[in-house]
A and B are shown apart, each in its own frame.
Chain A
Amino acid sequence: MPDSRATATPDPRSGTDPGPDLAPGRGRRAVVAMSGGVDSSVTAALLVEAGYDVVGLTMQLYDQGQAVAGGRTCCAGQDIHDARRVADRLGIPHYVVDYEGAFRRDVMERFADSYVRGETPVPCVLCNQTVKFRDLLGAARDLGAEILATGHYVRRREAADGPALWRGRDSAKDQSYFLFATTRAHLAMLRFPLGDLTKDQTRALARRHGLAVAGKAESQDICFVPGGDYARVVERLRPGALDPGDIVDQAGRVLGRHDGIMHYTVGQRRGLGIGGTEAPLYVLQLRPGRREVVVGPREALARDRFALHGLNWLGPGTAPPETGIRAMVKIRNTFDPVPATVEVHADARARVTLETPAHGVAPGQACVLYEGERVLGGGWIAREGLSE
């Protein structure tokens, strides 16, 4: 793989991609975050091939038995086993790092609290921000590694003002939405060798390297919520948060009952359990204080202005221009970017105005800003400041 960091600064708007930035390893130490899945396994194989002194680390994040059933199983089981067997196959040292405490505090509890506040959280971003790029990155540094590689489908490119984040070349696999909070300091040490590949290419590489995980199924759920029953996880972490309440319309008329606001997401249509109305009803708003779910017709979902907090800037310069910027934005992972204007305020806050109103702007989700393929940054959609 050629070292292309010496090439000219890419113009993000042109979409011209200077190519992968994984330099030859020449025996330098690299840590690979190995989950036991096919992506991170291939990442490890590519680094070995590129000549790095590779060390595999697998994060122990939660007790699988405990997260689901409250039982106690000592060990996570299959995924750690798979990562270890891949490391054996590649002939690299492999270790498990225990981040159960940090994961519970920084990801699972914040996930639960977010639901209790009537939001729709994105725990994968929290995990990347905390255990992965704070703790694991620190461990990699402690182990003398120059880089930390992960199996994310995003591209990292050297731009004039430092490392930049680009969408994965395979738009179906692009994971940039979940990495908006990655800082430049993180990016300086991170590498994403799969950013230029498709999943099929990754699987082909896994087979070529003889990795037993080549055909392993994709994980679809939030890792600590197997089966998607997040209400059960929230109930375990925050008992009582499942209190039932009223389903009301925009005028405050009670239309029915619900068994906990966390079962609802803004923009959701199905599962309201209300019949007899002419037009289908959508969740417009969650009012945690009154335990109310507000529903209404689809038109009432349209929002064109909302506020962000926790803004992370990865665009040109060290901070976003005070005059505001125009960008393409995604308000959830599965959303085709739409044009918007972003006004930046102090304290990492911002106000977003969409050119055309969107349906299902949900507090707690991330709003990620793009310029072409480049990620300019992003922030969290606030509960306050949502246009009516």
Chain B
Amino acid sequence: MTGDLVYLDHNATAPLRPGAAEAMRAALAVVGNPSSVHGHGRRARRWIEDAREAVAALLAVPPAWVVFTGGGSEANGLALSGLGDGPRLCSAVEHDSVLRWVPEDGRLPVDALGVIDLEALGRALAKAPGPGLLSLMWANNETGVVQPVAEAAARARAAGWRVHCDAVQGPGRLSPLDMAALGVDLLSLSAHKLGGPAGVGALIVADGVTLAPLVRGGGQERGRRAGTENLVGIAGFGAAAEAVRAGGAAESARLAALRDRLEAGLRASCPVAAIHGAGAARLPNTTCVGLPDTAPTADIQVMRLDLAGVSVGAGSACSSGKVAPSHVLRAMGLTEAAARRALRFSLGWSSTPADVERVLAAWAALAP
């Protein structure tokens, strides 16, 4: 890490893994369009297919299911838009890139811990005019709460629905990763959430699902995503995916231990702080701390920690940098005042025990 700065915002974006950086540097030297028939083109193609196999292996799916996209939001858009005009359902705590495709009345409630209400899902499926698409995230980016995707998917599929899972927060945190166990038809990944570069992602599309492309043009990605492949980005994605797979369950356990130490320390300095979603199944890397209403709002807390050299997240920052009250926490029943006072600490591959101790020292000096 740079100097004394601590980066605890992996759910926003993870630092580039050294293996990914190395692969990208090598890929920069590659000349050739992967669609070209000549030797240059074939060598470029090989990079893409190696990466495709690495990403497929991460989710234990056939490589042919992997459609590279320009990122997680595009993968979500492709999944939500590509299946035709049927009804769409999702949870109320999805990322904006999913919510934008689902009408208000298709957004299913969550309980106080942020877990989707499966009874409400059952009612919505029964009420729907016909089969459509259910989109449910694997784990929430703000709270780390893991959704019962397999259970929800089984219900939806029994009613003839397709199921999409926004899984961008899964890899690098959860282990093992197995798309078949989730029982979904479509699954979104984002390279930069797992230590690859930003601007590249993938939609995993199971056999038998016909998708209309969002980006039309050439026949790349088997006609599901036009445009010359982002070779350098895809190479980095593949290398990062390999590193995640190598980390396995041991990395999940390492993160959980760091997270437990972090949460114990945070609560020791500020016993009134709540940990949102605690009590539900959660990612091992994410802590969403709720501060009392008397505390300055989370945007100010993020600034204070930043000025002390610690990078953490709050709500979902829009590109202007203003922080809106989290729709996720509001859906969990928090008041607007409480939703404006939640800070997110998210660990990842580069996090160390020393990072956690430095964060706790800064927190102790600033805790409300």
Residues of chain A having any CB pair with chain B under 8 Å = 55, 60, 74-77, 80, 84, 93, 95-98, 100, 139, 142-144
CB nearest neighbor in B for A29: B307
Contact B307 A96 (CB under 8 A): no
User: Interface segment, B153-161, B264-272, B298-306?
Assistant: B298-306
Given contacts A95-B303, A98-B324, 7 further A-B pairs with CB under 8 A are: A75-B322, A80-B321, A84-B321, A93-B307, A96-B320, A98-B322, A144-B304
Contact B320 A80 (CB under 8 A): yes
Bound-state CA distance A93–B309 (Å) is 11
Contact B322 A142 (CB under 8 A): no
The digit string for B304-319, where 1 denotes a CB below 8 A from any CB of A, is 1011000000000011
Identify which of A74, A98, A139, A142 contacts B323 (C-beta below 8 A). A98
B296 in the interface (beta carbon within 8 A): yes
Residues of chain B having any CB pair with chain A under 8 Å = 296, 299-300, 303-304, 306-307, 318-324
Most buried by A among B299, B307, B323: B307
Contact A143 B319 (CB under 8 A): no
Contact B296 A142 (CB under 8 A): yes
Identify which of A55, A75, A142, A144 contacts B320 (C-beta below 8 A). A75
Bound-state CA distance A351–B321 (Å) is 46
What chain A residues lie within 8 Å of B323 (beta carbons)?
98
Q: A95-B299, A97-B299, A98-B299 in contact; A143/B304 too (CB < 8 A)?
A: yes
What chain B residues lie within 8 Å of A75 (beta carbons)?
318-320, 322
Contact A144 B318 (CB under 8 A): no
Contact A96 B322 (CB under 8 A): yes
Contact B322 A60 (CB under 8 A): yes
CB nearest neighbor in B for A101: B336
Bound-state CA distance A75–B306 (Å) is 22
What chain A residues lie within 8 Å of B319 (beta carbons)?
74-75
What chain B residues lie within 8 Å of A77 (beta carbons)?
320
Bound-state CA distance A144–B322 (Å) is 20
Kindly list the 6 A-B residue pairs having the minimum CB-CB distance in the complex, ordered from nearest.
A75-B320, A96-B321, A98-B322, A60-B322, A142-B296, A96-B322
Identify which of B307, B321, B324 contacts A55 (C-beta below 8 A). B307
CB nearest neighbor in B for A79: B320
CB nearest neighbor in B for A59: B322
What chain B residues lie within 8 Å of A93 (beta carbons)?
303, 306-307
Contact B318 A74 (CB under 8 A): yes
Q: A93-B306, A93-B307, A144-B307 in contact; A74/B320 too (CB < 8 A)?
A: yes
Bound-state CA distance A153–B104 (Å) is 49
Most buried by B among A74, A75, A80, A142: A142
What chain A residues lie within 8 Å of B299 (beta carbons)?
95, 97-98
What chain B residues lie within 8 Å of A97 (beta carbons)?
299-300, 322
Write the nearest CB–CB distance from B192 to chain A, whole angstroms.
Answer: 21
What chain A residues lie within 8 Å of B296 (beta carbons)?
139, 142
Bound-state CA distance A55–B303 (Å) is 10
What chain A residues lie within 8 Å of B318 (beta carbons)?
74-75
Write the nearest CB–CB distance from B88 to chain A, whole angstroms.
Answer: 21
What chain B residues lie within 8 Å of A84 (beta carbons)?
321
Most buried by A among B318, B319, B320, B323: B320
Write the nearest CB–CB distance from A215 to chain B, whole angstroms.
Answer: 24
Most buried by B among A75, A97, A98, A143: A98
CB nearest neighbor in B for A75: B320
Bound-state CA distance A84–B318 (Å) is 15
